Amino acid sequence: MRSQTVTSQDGSRLFSVERPAGLGSSLRSLRPAPRPSQPNLFTHSNLQNSGESENNLSEEEKKKLDTLQQIRVKFLRLIHRLGLSSDEPIAAQVLYRMTLIARRQNSPLFSVEAAKMKAFQLEAEGKDDLDFSVNILVIGKSGVGKSATINSIFGEEKTSIDAFGPATTSVKEISGVVDGVKIRVFDTPGLKSSAMEQGFNRSVLSSVKKLTKKNPPDIYLYVDRLDAQTRDLNDLPMLKTITSCLGPSIWRSAIVTLTHGASAPPDGPSGSPLSYEVFVTQRSHVVQQSIGQAVGDLRMMSPSLMNPVSLVENHPSCRRNRDGHKILPNGQSWRPQLLLLSYSMKILSEASALSKPEDPFDHRKLFGFRTRSPPLPYMLSSMLQSRAHPKLSAEQGGDNGDSDIDLDDLSDSDQEEEDEYDQLPPFKPLRKAQLAKLSKEQRKAYFEEYDYRVKLLQKKQLREDLKRMKEMKSKGKEAAIDNGYSDNPAYRYRFLEPTSQFLARPVLDTHGWDHDCGYDGVNVEQSLAIASRFPAAVTVQITKDKKDFSINLDSSIAAKHGENGSTMAGFDIQSIGKQLAYIVRGETKFKSLKKNKTACGISVTFLGENMVTGLKVEDQIILGKQYVLVGSAGTVRSQSDTAYGANFELQRREADFPIGQVQSTLSMSVIKWRGDLALGFNSMAQFAVGRNSKVAVRAGINNKLSGQVTVRTSSSDHLSLALTAIIPTAIGIYRKLWPDADCLCQFIE
């Protein structure tokens, strides 16, 4: 058994009903169904008027409730005429859904008991005033039993059938009345599966569109055989043609109808016959997988997101119940269930038409299909991250290259340290043999002096590079070269060829298989200057293995506004789940003060059928030479869903950064989405242990007291640290071999 959840428009869980896996919502249970001659649909119970007074309702609301009540009464009468009960899972879901559309569950005008009493009264009077009709389009391959299913629905022969060839050669409109319901069915010729015969399918579907233009179908029955022993995707060309000609929206109102429902299950891998439940589940999954591939929505391939499936048996020798209805091997009468599914979809279409335009109804939500909303918290966190604007390199005519250090930030103390390096006495590095003769204290003093001199030299070189880049605003004009080199030595002063701004490298999969190359992708980076004024950067990463394919694009271009401002525009492609998100963003950054930078940006994300817009504001304040405070706030919105968030980060680095690599970060993030508030605290510290060892520690925790701590160590002196990775590996192997020996593992940990 599988639990099916019915959700509301906001995604909240309403209630669940159990149903057999793979059979869809059209089947109540795999146990034999009860056979009452006419169930008592209208059971009386106490009517509690605890809702709002009718005087508090506007005329428009009263009219809407009255119309919805009439639709509910009509649906209850349909259930009664099918010989079913309102306790049927599908019927209960439809009634509850209509209550949600009314948005006033306890109003006396919209009482379930009042609707039952009204329906009971009308049915007792025997009036034939049920104003309800349904249009059904039947489509499928040739020879699957479309015409026979139509005859079974009407209970009489409406169209000819042929066991040895196609019986329908053109699109036909068949009308009739079943239990007071006007049913119009469009019978279509059998379609072809071969890719070479899709021209015939397109001509048939073109005729279908012309004939159904006046009376559009309410329900689409996609008919296939239950006993078709195939697991391939041979029907994919046909399904793609159906989707392209009739539109992908038809699958929202489609019922997968499997004929020959009384077929015996085939043998399984063990040699014994499969159970009826497994047989139906496997066949339903194959059909739904083909539909999902044709539509391009891989979520439809999930068993929990399938379209409703209805089983049909048209053979005249099919077993019948006491009422004379054909039943399946599980004891279920299939015809009332198929009609109930069709009526439910049409009733909900009428009811949802009264709701607000921004609250459309998707039939698949009734049967377990959940329309996924975009992950707004993830998109908000990604948008709030700071992005560096592309800069022109020195070779492209930039004045400060890629450095984030401003020459004006270097104080007089740095100039004194530069002079101090020139005033140091000569220093002669020692060889390894000479170092071995030193004592421990002498070796320590030697390395301290050596590291101190190296740091002063690096700072001096950095200052010289920054000065040179600031003084050299642009390259000098190249001297003309004469034909003869001997008379004019200008060729000696030509510029060297600039380094390439194009970089391509493989992507290493750290979790790959043994004896494998470990590379499953490629990363390409390109930096260029457009019109020698606008720096641009493009990064593309493509990853492909046997099952998954992903592509990520990060591109941006910037324009500088004087010395204090710049504007950046970008286009990104990211993989979010199994969908690609296309992001268009823009940001402007300017210096309001010498130590303050302010940025404002917008973004538009296209994810499937959703569009997400975002806005952010960021401010960065430099406190002295060691501290940087960054704060950002923003919001993202998709339809009626909105998420708000803010980030605050305090960075600390060494006074001689970037020569010194010791730095730490403390940050806090706040996100509010759908009434929930999420707090997150993160910290990072990077420092050196000794001369050749570095340690990076990251820790994070949220308001639900869940988090993680990561310690990363790199050392060229103490290689024994790498052996510590063997401990968790050995514990994992030990637990696999001896799962009961947890005490020893806990002691080791």
**Which residue pairs from 681-686 have beta carbons closer than 8 angstroms and sit at least 24 positions apart in sequence?**
686/661, 686/662
Q: Please, what sign has the CA dihedral across residues 96, 99, 101, 106?
A: negative
Give pLDDT tens digits for 490-537. Answer: 555 555 555 677 888 888 776 666 666 667 789 999 988 888 889 999
d(CA 73, CA 281): 35
Question: Which CATH superfamily includes the segment(s) 377-389+498-717?
Answer: monomeric porin ompg (2.40.160.40)
d(CA 321, CA 332): 9
Average pLDDT over residues 192-202: 89
pLDDT at 588: 95
Q: Please, what sign has the CA dihedral across residues 273, 278, 284, 289?
A: negative
Query: Who wins on pLDDT, 48 or 141?
Result: 141
Average pLDDT over residues 221-237: 83
Q: Whose structure tokens read 């015969």?
A: 197
Q: What tokens were used for 613?
A: 């817009």
Write the DSSP symbol of residue 663.
E
d(CA 238, CA 244): 10
| 734: pLDDT strictly greater than 70 | yes
Note the pTM of the prediction, 2 decimals: 0.48
Query: Who wins on pLDDT, 306 or 250?
Result: 250
Identity of the residue numbered 364: R
Give pLDDT tens digits for 573-628. Answer: 998 877 889 999 999 998 888 789 999 999 999 988 789 999 999 999 988 888 99
**CB atoms < 10 A from the CB of 671, how many?**
20
pLDDT at 422: 72
Give pLDDT tens digits for 101-126. Answer: 776 545 565 677 788 888 888 888 87
| 569: pLDDT strictly greater than 90 | yes
pLDDT at 494: 54
| 1: pLDDT strictly greater than 50 | no
* Least reliable range by pLDDT among 375-384, 405-414, 640-649: 405-414
d(CA 395, CA 415): 27
Write the DSSP symbol of residue 275.
P
pLDDT at 44: 39
Of 243, 195, 194, the residue nearest 222 (C-alpha):
243
- Looking at the structure, give the CATH architecture of the domain made up of residues 2-371: 3-Layer(aba) Sandwich (3.40)
SS3 188: coil
| 654: pLDDT strictly greater than 90 | no
Give pLDDT tens digits for 59-97. Answer: 777 788 888 888 888 888 888 888 888 888 888 888 888
d(CA 492, CA 485): 10
Query: Who wins on pLDDT, 46 or 488?
Result: 488
pLDDT at 25: 36
Of 145, 125, 350, the residue nearest 227 (C-alpha):
145
Average pLDDT over residues 245-258: 88
pLDDT at 54: 56
pLDDT at 219: 92
What residue ranges do the domains of the chain occupy?
Answer: 2-371, 377-389+498-717, 723-749
Query: Who wins on pLDDT, 364 or 353?
Result: 353
Q: Whose structure tokens read 């699958």?
A: 251
For residue 680, give every residue at least 6 positions away whose Cβ sits within 8 Å of its Cβ, in sequence order, or none: 668, 669, 670, 671, 700, 701, 702, 703
Please, which pLDDT band fits residue 299 given cuts at 50, 70 and 90? low
Identity of the residue numbered 473: K
Write the DSSP symbol of residue 543.
E
- H/E element holding 434? helix 432-436
- H/E element holding 700? strand 693-702
d(CA 613, CA 602): 8
Please, which pLDDT band fits residue 399 given cuts at 50, 70 and 90? low
For residue 212, give every residue at least 6 positions away whose Cβ sits within 8 Å of its Cβ, in sequence order, or none: 135, 137, 186
Sort strands 181-187 and 133-140 into parallel, antiparallel or unpaired. Answer: parallel
SS3 584: strand
- H/E element holding 652? strand 641-653
